[in-house]
Chain A
Amino acid sequence: MVKSSGSDDARALIRSLRVAYSATPTTLKIIDLYVCFAVLTALIQAVYMGMVGSFPFNSFLSGELSCIGTAVLAVCLRIQVNKENKEFKDLPLERAFADFVLCNLVLHLVIMNFLG
């Protein structure tokens, strides 16, 4: 009884979450998708490292940091782009995007240098 109501609650919770999330603007959804993609890639690399060992450690680290770093930058972009964040209300979208691109380029220059 308790169990079924618990699962019902969970379903209700997920449903409400999905409904709430569907109201999110498409641009933010794209960013979310991008973050998922980056984190997933990082996870796969971590699994690979767990299987074969960390021999070219710098290569592993740069692959991992590339994914995590770009995910973090994407999260930052999402914060700046979200209209509900009053803190960044005056910041234009384009400026935030330019920051994202610039940071990514700098990040990847370092990553490439570190890749070996």
Chain B
Amino acid sequence: MARDLVLLFLISLLFSACDSKVFSPISDGHRSAASELFTPTDGSYGSLEDTYKALRTFHILKVDRNVDINSNTCPVVSEILKDSSSNPKDVYFALGVNSMLGCQIDSGMYEALVSRLQSVIKGANLLYDFYYSIKGLLVIKDQGINVLLENADVVFHSIKSLSQSGGRWRFSSDDSESSTYAAGLALEALAGVVSLADSEIDRSMISIVKNDIVKLFDSIDGYDDGVLYFDEKLDVEYHDPLSTSASVVQGLTAFAAVASGNLKDSQIPGDKILGLANFFLSIGIPGTTKDFYNQIESVACLEDNVLAVPLILSLSTAVISATSKDQLKVKVTTVLGSVSPPLTVKLVQAFSPDTRHNPVLAHQELRFDPESSIHSLDILPTSIDIGKYIFVFEILLHDPEHKKICATGGQAQAFIYYTGLIKIESAEIAILDNDVESVETKQKLDLSRDNTVSLSANHLQKIILSFHLTTPLGHAFKPHQVLLKLRHETKVEHMFVLKNSGKHFEIILDLLRLVEKFYYLSGKYDIELTVGDISMENSFLRAVGHVDLHLPEPSDKATRPPVPLVDPYSRFGPKPEISHIFRAPEKRPPQELSYAFLAVTLLPFLCFLIGLMRLGVNLKNFPSSSLPATFSILFHAAIAGVLLLYVLFWLKLDLFTTLKILSFLGVFLVFVGHRTLSYHASTSTKQKSA
């Protein structure tokens, strides 16, 4: 049962994620994800740009940073601000980080920075230079320092001169193609110029820009479910739809804020703002820091923009259970999850996707609970049967003033699964004789638990399984899956789909026709029945019992049963361990015995020496004169040397080394041996002749 519920839950999650037109606002999920995504290493978030994005995200989400990064980041910030050659982008991010960290920056430095950024703006012809310099000046102004942009009209004109038809901008005057992403940057820069201007900007210029914005919105893309986004048209410097939409939204909201309400009357309806908000929320929780920052920063811009504040309707759950008498709960918040102004949520209608023209519920007002700020509706089990429904909601604001500043987007649709218990009745399994259609055996089944029916049939008979499914309101119910499985002892499986007519489900297995499919395998078959559906709370997979089939012997042409599939996981699993067989070591004699015999082998040598003494052996024949004596000694030494070499050969040398040394030693031995022995020979012949 637990397995069935998990399956149900997963399927419902999948459906609610894919089809629902209702998106969730920024929630605690984003807050915990932000803490995980933006993690400092060695006391900093990387570059100043990354640090700024991390700090800004935490600031918007009101998440506490637990790590102190001031000691590592502030020196970098002051170094960049002091360096007169650093580019405007670095300066802007350094200023941004400084404003949030509150590093100790010399106030005199701000004046130098202002004049430096002013001179950059004067000489700039790249959009990025305008953008970052003006944003930098805005940050300085927010610090409470009086900043006035000189020749604001000229700057406004130079930025405007980069614009092209269709409301898009070029990155520099050399570019021939225009970009949507650049349009967002330009709008934000222009908004900055207006707020920094020393004198009022020409109103006609502002209205020209407004027309550009309207044209830009003509190129907006979207999906059927009310999601709108901007896509980059420029191939050279491509930005993904999220970056592009984020850039446009930030530029638009900034410009709308300074254009003193004039933009409100233009043709940008609240629905488009809501569509963009839906786009950012439809992403869910992004996986990269860049996407995360873009989403949060844009959503924060939309939260309190002057054009239209999008209100987001979200469902606490897409699955409503009839058995636990769940309420339909709806929440209306701003994009960042703040409480909405007073309003009423109305259920316009609810209908099954198959029968659109025939709504099951219509025109009901949801009850508002001010404490939890949740709109709820009791759904009476008598009014609605279980199944999948589309609920259409409408948001009605109480205050007419709010209607001007909030975008509710007309009607919102959501998929909702109304689940409940299905009645299973008159389940039975029977064996029929084929020729006379008479029932041989018939057994009742209780499908609320596993059964152990034991049946027996031959190939001339039929197996019939039937049951009734009824919804709580007594209607017919057709689950997504109604499957019968027969599994032979040899793990060969056969699946059958049960057909229904109204409430009655039935399958007739004509064994005569199925012998071929069963591979003529006689023996015991386990029977399993699966009935499952998303909205059926008592979905089940039950063992029914088993049937003993007596099928004819296979002919020679009959197909063999398939080889059971190898478990795919076992292919990647550990291989069986290889046990090596080594030859058992030979039995060795005890050490003492071996040493004793070593002593014994020395005995004959001792006897030999004693024998020599008994024989009166002497060294009288040893040459007495110096030269022959030397040769004689050398001769003996050479023999000893050769024997020593043999011992070394036994202990560590190899044959080649031994033979090399032996060749030298041998020549020497032959030489001295010849000299010695020829001396002996000459003395013995002298003795003889004498």
- Which residues of A approach B to under 8 Å, CB–CB? 26, 29-30, 33-34, 36-38, 40-41, 44-45, 48, 51-53, 55, 92-95, 97-98, 101, 105, 108-109, 112-113, 115
Residues of A within 8 A of B639 (CB): 101, 105
B554 contacts partner chain A, Cβ-Cβ < 8 Å: no
CB distance from B44 to the nearest CB of A (A): 69
In the bound assembly, the distance between CA atoms of A44 and B599 in angstroms comes to: 11
Within the complex, the shortest CB–CB distance from B618 to chain A, in Å, comes to 10
Contact of A52 with B601 at beta-carbon distance under 8 Å, contacts A98-B677, A101-B673 already known: no
Q: Do A94 and B678 form a contact, CB below 8 Å, given A37-B607, A37-B608, A109-B662?
A: yes
Pair B617/A37 contact, Cβ less than 8 Å: no
| A97: B residues at CB distance < 8 A | 677
From known contacts A97-B677, A112-B650, A115-B650, infer whether A48 and B597 are also in contact, taking CB-CB under 8 Å.
yes
Closest to B611 in A: A33
How many residues belonging to B are interface residues under a CB distance threshold of 8 Å? 37
A94 to B681, CA, bound (A): 6
* Cβ-defined contact, B615 with A41, below 8 A: no
In the complex, whether B605 has a CB less than 8 A from a CB of chain A is yes
- Check if B646 sits within 8 Å of A34, measured CB to CB: no
How many angstroms from the CA of A38 to the CA of B611 in the assembled complex? 13
Residue of B nearest to A111 (CB): B646
Assembly CA distance A53 to B616 (angstroms)? 41
From B607, B673, B680, give the contact of A40 (CB < 8 A): B607
Please indicate which of the listed interface residues B642, B673, B677 has the most CB atoms of chain A within 10 Å of its own CB.
Answer: B677
Residues on B with beta carbons closer than 8 Å to the beta carbon of A52: 588-589, 593-594
Using known A-B contacts A26-B615, A94-B680, A108-B646, determine if residue A34 contacts B608 with beta carbons closer than 8 Å: yes
B residues 643-665 near A (Cβ < 8 Å) are 643, 646-647, 649-650, 655, 658, 662
Q: Which of A33, A40, A109 contacts B615 (CB 8 A)?
A: A33
> Which residues on the A side are within 8 Å of B680 (C-beta)?
93-94
**Could you write out 14 A-B pairs with CB less than 8 Å apart?**
A26-B615, A26-B617, A37-B605, A37-B607, A40-B604, A44-B601, A44-B604, A55-B587, A94-B680, A95-B677, A108-B643, A109-B646, A109-B658, A113-B649
- Whether A41 pairs with B604 at a CB distance below 8 angstroms is yes
Closest to B676 in A: A94
Output the nearest chain A residue to B677 by Cβ-Cβ distance.
Answer: A94
Shortest beta-carbon distance from A49 to chain B in Å: 10
Which of A36, A44, A51, A93 is the most central at the interface, judged by chain B CB atoms within 10 Å of its CB?
A44
Chain B contacts to A: CB under 8 angstroms: 586-589, 593-594, 597, 600-601, 603-605, 607-608, 611-612, 615-617, 639, 642-643, 646-647, 649-650, 655, 658, 662, 666, 673-674, 677-678, 680-681, 684
Neighbour of A33 across the interface among B597, B608, B649, CB < 8 A: B608
A37 touches B604 (CB 8 A): yes
Q: Which residues of B contact A112 (CB under 8 A)?
A: 646-647, 649-650
Q: B616, A26: Cβ atoms under 8 Å? A: yes
Q: Which 8 A-B pairs have the closest CB atoms?
A: A52-B589, A94-B677, A40-B604, A37-B608, A33-B611, A55-B586, A112-B646, A48-B597
Secondary structure at the B interface, as helix, strand, loop or mixed, is helix
Which residues of chain A come closer than 8 Å to B600, judged between CB atoms?
Answer: 44, 48
Cβ B617 vs Cβ A30 within 8 A:
yes
Docked CA distance A103–B593 (Å): 33
Give complex CA distance A2, B616 in Å.
41
Residue of B nearest to A105 (CB): B642
Query: Secondary structure of the A side of the interface?
Result: helix
Closest chain A residue, CB of each to CB of B678: A94
- Is the pair B615, A93 in contact by a Cβ cutoff of 8 Å? no
Q: Are B597 and A44 in contact (CB under 8 A)?
A: yes
- Which residue of chain B is the closest to A53 with respect to CB atoms? B587
Give Cα A91–Cα B589 distance, bound, in whole angstroms. Answer: 49
**Across-interface contacts of B588 in A (CB, < 8 A):** 52, 55
Known: A37-B607, A94-B678, A101-B673. Contact between A30 and B612, CB under 8 A?
yes
Q: Tell me how far the C-beta of A92 lies from the nearest C-beta in chain B, rounded to whole angstroms.
A: 5
A57–chain B nearest beta-carbon distance, Å: 10
Q: For residue B643, which residues in chain A have a CB less than 8 angstroms away from its CB?
A: 108
A33 to B649, CA, bound (A): 29
Nearest-CB distance from B47 to chain A (Å)? 71
Residue of A nearest to B648 (CB): A112
| Cα–Cα distance between A41 and B616 once the two chains are bound (Å) | 23
Known: A26-B616, A33-B608. 17 other contacts (CB 8 A): A30-B615, A33-B612, A33-B615, A36-B607, A37-B608, A40-B603, A41-B604, A44-B601, A51-B593, A52-B593, A95-B677, A98-B673, A98-B677, A105-B642, A108-B643, A112-B646, A113-B649
With both chains docked as a complex, state the minimum distance between the C-beta of A7 and any C-beta of chain B, in angstroms: 27
Complex Cα distance, B636 from A101, in Å, reads 11
B306 CB to closest chain A CB, in angstroms? 100
User: Taking CB as reference atom, which chain B residue is nearest A29?
Assistant: B615
A53→B589 CA distance, assembly (Å): 8
Q: Are B611 and A93 in contact (CB under 8 A)?
A: no
In the docked arrangement, what's the CA distance between A36 and B608, Å? 8
Minimum CB distance partner of B605 in chain A: A37
Across the interface, which residues of A come within 8 angstroms of B650, CB to CB? 112, 115
| CB of A81 to closest CB in B, whole Å | 12
Contacts of B662 in A (CB 8 A): 109
Shortest B610–chain A CB gap in Å is 9
Tell me the nearest residue of chain A to B606, going by C-beta: A37
| A36 to B594 alpha-carbon distance, docked (Å) | 23
User: Please, how many angstroms separate the alpha-carbon atoms of A87 and B426 in the complex?
Assistant: 125
The complex places the Cα of A85 from the Cα of B589 at a distance, in Å, of 47
The interface residues of chain A lying within 8 Å CB-to-CB of B647 are 112
Question: Within the complex, what minimum Cβ distance (angstroms) separates B246 from chain A?
Answer: 82
Instruction: Give the chain A neighbours of B612 by CB distance below 8 A.
Output: 30, 33
Question: What is the CB-to-nearest-CB distance from A31 to chain B, in angstroms, rounded to a whole number?
Answer: 11
Which of chain B's residues have a CB closer than 8 A to the CB of A37?
Answer: 604-605, 607-608, 611
Residues on A with C-beta less than 8 A from B605 are 37, 41
Residue of A nearest to B607 (CB): A37
Tell which of B594, B666, B673 has the most Cβ of chain A within 10 Å.
Answer: B673
Cα separation A55 to B585 with both chains bound (whole Å): 10
Bound together, the chains give a CA A48 to CA B666 distance in angstroms of 35
Complex Cα distance, B677 from A97, in Å, reads 9
Query: Considering only CB atoms, which chain B residue lies closest to A32 in the complex?
Result: B611
Q: In whole Å, how far is A58's beta carbon from the nearest beta carbon of chain B?
A: 12
Q: Would you give the shortest CB distance from A18 to chain B, in whole angstroms? A: 14
Residues of B within 8 A of A92 (CB): 681, 684
Contact of B601 among A41, A95, A105, A108 (CB under 8 A): A41
Q: Which residues of B contact A105 (CB under 8 A)?
A: 639, 642, 666
